[in-house]
Chains A and B, each alone.
Chain A
C-alpha cells in the first residue's frame, strides 16, 4: 500500500504514519483512542480508551450519574461541561438533554414548565429550574446524596476530558516533546537539534 511520506514521523526510532491527521484528531475526540486505532497505533489506542473512558465512567458513577450535564442558565452555569465534553460522544447526550430543558424552561420566571419530563430516564439531564445559590434545589439534593462523590465525580470527568485533549494532539501531530530533563546543558555540548545521529534529542 502506498504511504504518504508527509504524514510519516519518526518517534523513539519508530516510523509512525499519522494518515489523515484531521480525521484522526476528530476520531480521537469522538471516542478516546479511536484516532490511534485509525492510525494503526493499537497499543496506544487501547491504553487511551481504557484509561480515559474508565476515569470518565468512574467519575460519572461516583456522582450518581448527575455530574455531567449541559446548563448555561443563570444560577447554574455548568462550566465543568466544557471540559467534560473533551471525551466526545460520551458527553453528547447532555447537549440534547440541555436543549430539551431549555425549551421547557419559562424564559420569564426561569422555572421548569409543568409536565416536563427529561428524556432517557433523566440520563445527563440538567436539574430542575430554578437553581439558586441560597435555596434547596435539585443540585443541593445531589450533593447531599452523594457527598464527596459528587465533587470527585465532577473532577474525574473533567480530568478525563482534559486528558483526551492530549490524546487528540497526539493523534494529530504525534507525541509531544518530552520536557527538559534534569540534565543541564553544558557549555561544550553540541546543539542537539543539529545532531543527525540523534533524531529525538529529548529522549537521550
Chain B
C-alpha cells in the first residue's frame, strides 16, 4: 500500500491545472491551441510521474 494517504495526491490537481494552462498560454495566442497544448502538457507530466511512481513502487515492493 501507499505509505501516505491517497488524499495527499489532491495537492497535485491544482498544480497540474495551473502549470499546464500557463505553459500552454505562454506558447500560443489562440485559445484552442492553448487548451490543446495544456492538455498535452498535463498528459505528459502525469504520464511521466506515473512511470516514476511505478518504478519506485516496484523497488519498494522488492526490498
- List residues of A whose CB falls within 8 A of some B CB: 11-14, 16, 41, 43-44, 47-48, 51-52, 54-55, 58, 148, 152, 156, 159-160, 163, 166-167, 169-170, 175-178, 203
Contact = CB atoms under 8 A, between A and B. Distances in A.
Interface of B: 8, 11, 14-15, 17-19, 21-23, 25-31, 33-34, 37
Contacts of B34: 44, 47
A145 B15 CA distance: 23
B31 A43 contact: yes
The 9 closest A-B pairs by CB, nearest first: A12-B30, A51-B18, A166-B26, A170-B26, A11-B29, A55-B18, A163-B22, A12-B29, A14-B29
A165 to B, nearest CB: 10
Contacts of A16: 29
Contacts of A203: 28, 33
Given A44-B29, A148-B11, A163-B18, 7 more contacts: A12-B29, A13-B30, A43-B31, A44-B25, A47-B21, A166-B23, A178-B27
Contacts of A160: 18
A12 B25 contact: no
Given A12-B33, A47-B21, A159 B26 contact: no
A14 B30 contact: yes
